[in-house]
Amino acid sequence: MARKVFVGMSGGVDSSLSAALLKEQGYDVVGVYMKNWTRDLPGFVCPWKEDYRDAKTVAVQLGIPFKVFDFETEYRQAVVDYMIDGYKQGLTPNPDIMCNQEIKFKLFLETALKQGADMIATGHYVRTKDGRLYKGKDDNKDQSYFLYRVSADALKHTLFPVGELSKDRVRAEAAQRQLITATKRDSQGICFVGEVGIKQFLLNELGEQLPGKIIDQSGREVGVHDGAIFYTIGQRHGLNVGGGLPYYVIDKNMHKNIVYVTTDINDVKLWSSKVDLVNPWWINAPPETGKNYLVKTRYRSTSVESTVLSLTNNSLSIHLSEEVRAVSPGQSAVIYDQDQVLGGGIILRGE
């Protein structure tokens, strides 16, 4: 009897091809659309209806059953509120990582197994083997950074059919099968509000914020910001400080509502060779102190050779072999042993 796989179908090409490949490989495939967020925002219509329709159309094309899992309440609590709370604290949280930890590879998996699935599958560009997580073959599309807080048990119950493919190959394979999502462009922006900027989203959720001082590296007031909550370390645009050299955010004081900036791209506060992390998560075994690994401090950053200096159940410190720019509290640092993801933690500070 064929193994039953529930495929999370987002309405995009990656998950569409994943469902097609699994069916061709002989699995008993069921398509599932996760309804996580349906709210429109000022000037922006949430695309969930279009995504739902595209996912359902592909399921019909493939001749597979199709379900909808309504996770909107849980998603609001586990992902959206988490993100908003982080910004209130002056952090730059990553909602995509929390979505994978709490929704896609926990709630979706648990619900699927209860409904008779043996496995789940998604369209992520990663690979897995024996409960271990590895980077996707396509370096440009690799999404392992976002999955570092997924459990080994979840990985043992998950298939990633496009992890061995490039994006171009995925589109070509989807077109060959005449899937209607073959040329659909990738979604951009925050995972649940599409192309709405984070500032607009926070304004909609929290309202106008108190303006405050922008102070440069010499202690001089150079402008007024419209809420410290909106700024992140390393940010250059959106400061509205005119003239001369560009300014970069180097620090914030949420209590005093001050944003600190610099015009010096070599300012020591912009660069870090040591990163302190909290809430560490290890997929299998933790890394060894004193051993060299690769670390990414944000999704699109280059991996840097690093050494774990100290490690406890609640924290760890990492020395970076070269300085990294704009290490932002609230973001994640992910540790790799070559192509394998060991885990990582939430950035407390860089220095």
Residues 155 and 304 in one domain: no
- HSE of 101, CA atoms in CB hemisphere, 13 A: 18
Look at residue 279 and give its three-state secondary structure: strand
Report yes or no on 195 lying in a domain.
no
Residues 81 and 107 in one domain: yes
Residues 258 and 111 in one domain: no
Look at the pTM and tell me if it is higher than 0.75. yes
The burial class, CB within 10 Å (0-12 / 13-18 / 19+), for 166 is middle
User: What is the pLDDT, as a whole number, of residue 193?
Assistant: 60
Query: How many Å is the Cα radius of gyration of the chain?
Result: 21
Report yes or no on 227 lying in a domain.
yes
User: What is the pLDDT, as a whole number, of residue 340?
Assistant: 98
Domain of residue 141: give its range.
Answer: 4-176
User: What is the pLDDT, as a whole number, of residue 188?
Assistant: 67
DSSP 341: E
Report yes or no on 185 lying in a domain.
no
For residues 55 and 278, what is the distance between their CA atoms, to the nearest angstrom? Answer: 38
Q: What is the pLDDT of residues 179-198, one digit of tens each?
A: 999 999 987 666 666 666 78
Give catalytic residues, as residue numbers.
99, 191
Pairing assessment for the beta strands 340-350 and 132-135 based on DSSP bridges? antiparallel
User: What is the pLDDT, as a whole number, of residue 241?
Assistant: 80
Total number of residues shown for the chain: 351
Residues 89 and 215 in one domain: no
* CATH of residue 305: 2.40.30.10
Cα dihedral: 261, 267, 269, 272 (round 10): 140
Q: What total number of domains does the chain contain?
A: 3
In contact, 286 and 273? CB cutoff 8 Å: no
Report yes or no on 192 lying in a domain.
no
The burial class, CB within 10 Å (0-12 / 13-18 / 19+), for 4 is middle
User: What is the pLDDT, as a whole number, of residue 151?
Assistant: 98
Residues 113 and 214 in one domain: no
Report yes or no on 27 lying in a domain.
yes
User: What is the pLDDT, as a whole number, of residue 76?
Assistant: 95
Report yes or no on 194 lying in a domain.
no
Sheet holding 28-35, edge to edge: 66-70, 28-35, 4-8, 119-121, 158-159
Q: What is the pLDDT of residues 85-140, one digit of tens each?
A: 999 999 999 999 999 999 999 999 999 999 999 999 999 999 999 999 999 999 99
User: What is the pLDDT, as a whole number, of residue 195?
Assistant: 61
Residues 241 and 331 in one domain: no
Residues 233 and 144 in one domain: no
Report yes or no on 196 lying in a domain.
no
Rounded to 10°, the helix 13-24/48-62 angle is 20
In contact, 214 and 259? CB cutoff 8 Å: yes
Pick left, alpha or beta for residue 97 (phi over 0 → left; psi -120 to 50 → alpha; otherwise beta).
alpha
Spans of the chain below 50 pLDDT: none
- Beta carbons within 8 Å of 257's beta carbon, 6+ residues apart: 210, 212, 213, 227, 228
In contact, 165 and 13? CB cutoff 8 Å: no
Report yes or no on 181 lying in a domain.
no
Residues 142 and 13 in one domain: yes
The domain boundary residue, chosen from 262, 292, 327: 262
Residues 147 and 285 in one domain: no
Backbone angles phi, psi at 146, to 5 degrees: -80, -10
Residues 168 and 283 in one domain: no
| SS3 of the chain: helix, strand, coil, percent, to 5 | 30, 30, 40
Residues 220 and 107 in one domain: no
Backbone angles phi, psi at 66, to 5 degrees: -140, 135
Residues 77 and 99 in one domain: yes
For residues 284 and 246, what is the distance between their CA atoms, to the nearest angstrom? Answer: 44
Q: What is the mean pLDDT of the chain?
A: 94
